[in-house]
Amino acid sequence: MSLAMRYAYQEHSYRQTFKISRETRDSAPLFVVHVTDGTHIGRGECGLQSLKHETQASAAAQLEDIKNRIADIGSREELNRAVAATSARNAVDCALWDLACKRSGKSIWDLAGVRRLDKIEVDITIGINAADKMRRDALAAGGRGYRILKIKADADSVLDRVAAIAGAAPDLRFIVDANEAWSMAQLEALAPTLKVMGVVAIEQPLHHDRDAPLAGYDSPVPLCADESCATRESLDVLAQRYDAVNIKLDKTGGLTEALALARTARERGMGLMMGCNGATSLGNAPAYVVGTLCDWRDIDSQELLFEDRANGMVTKNGELYAFDSKLWG
């Protein structure tokens, strides 16, 4: 089977400005990849990782390199051996999974060995804003049936913002995502009160290069690694510092490594979160597959975008419904 590949860059606008501790975005930069065997076409999608300083130019260069070698690479296994875990590899890896489904006539669930769930509970992200704006966003999310919210946080006014949301939506559960913005002292001060407020997990409180103190900390709220976690190679260290890991396809370099990371982390007794990186439903369909294995699913970016793909996934009452093969897999 001789393969050929093409790719294109796109930007998808957010419904409202999306702010986290280290950046603000009005749109999601994405690449779409098509891989063909001459008869069938597989599709994949990736974003850009600001943490790894990925840019449109750098991702395009990586995709061009893979494109020039795709006939020799030929398979997901060889791709993962030959190419580092980057966003570019993610798009190609997922396109190869989609192509394999189309060539074999089998579903992604059969090929991946994962039980299909018709729907999974997901959260919705509340970006950083003034406390009253975050409260109103939380109320709107609760009104749409979401039962768990991911609250983005920086180092300022954390308790005021969470309290405003918790007071308005006392029956909901919350994940607080600091995106590396806190110090160890701030975590120790905040965690007990956040637990009382209904926070069920704190995501990446410390910078990924400075999270060693977590190894000796007994947190009242489970800690989840995001920026500190990329592939299975990091698990030996992470298991000493965190209770759970956030898996993202751009970080793992595709569905192949994401599935392996999820299964290996679970064998170690760690909790699992499935995240996303500004993807449309095309990029989040493989995330749904991994999400069926997880405790928390932050697969909401298609809901935050102004416009999704044709045949996109649907969220109702805080539950994301499974995709079909018209979209992917």
The yes-or-no verdict on residue 177 having pLDDT over 90 is: yes
Q: For 70-99, what is the mean pLDDT?
A: 97
pLDDT of the residue at 8: 98
* Sequence-separated (6 or more) residues with CB below 8 Å from residue 197: 159, 162, 163, 166, 174
19-33, 90-104, 209-223, 312-326: segment of lowest average pLDDT: 19-33
Mean pLDDT of the chain: 96
Span 152-171, pLDDT tens digits = 999 999 999 999 999 999 99
Question: How many Å apart are CA 41 and CA 224, to the nearest integer?
Answer: 37
pLDDT of the residue at 22: 82
Q: Which of 52, 67, 102, 152 is catalytic?
A: 152
For the chain, give every residue range classified as CATH 3.30.390.10: 4-105
**Percentage helix, strand, coil for the chain under 3-state DSSP, each rounded to 5:** 40, 25, 35
Q: For 24-52, what is the mean pLDDT?
A: 96
pLDDT level of residue 114 (50, 70, 90 thresholds) = very high
Question: How many Å apart are CA 207 and CA 184, to the nearest integer?
Answer: 10
Q: How far is CA 123 from the centre of its chain?
A: 12
The architecture (CATH level 2) of 119-321 comes to Alpha-Beta Barrel (3.20)
Q: Which of 19, 248, 251, 316 is catalytic?
A: 248
Query: Would residue 326 show up in a list of annotated catalytic residues for this protein?
Result: no
Query: Would residue 152 show up in a list of annotated catalytic residues for this protein?
Result: yes
The yes-or-no verdict on residue 1 having pLDDT over 70 is: no
pLDDT of the residue at 308: 97
Span 128-153, pLDDT tens digits = 999 999 999 999 999 999 999 999 99
- 318 vs 18, higher pLDDT: 318
The architecture (CATH level 2) of 4-105 comes to 2-Layer Sandwich (3.30)
Q: Are 145 and 119 in contact (CB under 8 A)?
A: no
Question: How many Å apart are CA 66 and CA 82, to the nearest integer?
Answer: 9
Alpha helices in the chain (DSSP H): 56-73, 76-82, 87-104, 108-112, 131-143, 158-168, 184-196, 235-241, 249-252, 255-267, 281-291, 301-304
Q: For 171-196, what is the mean pLDDT?
A: 97
Span 221-233, pLDDT tens digits = 999 999 999 999 9
| Closest to 302 in 3D by CA, of 99, 69, 14 | 14
For the chain, give every residue range classified as CATH 3.20.20.120: 119-321
- Give the SS3 label for residue 187: helix
Span 230-253, pLDDT tens digits = 999 999 999 999 999 999 999 999
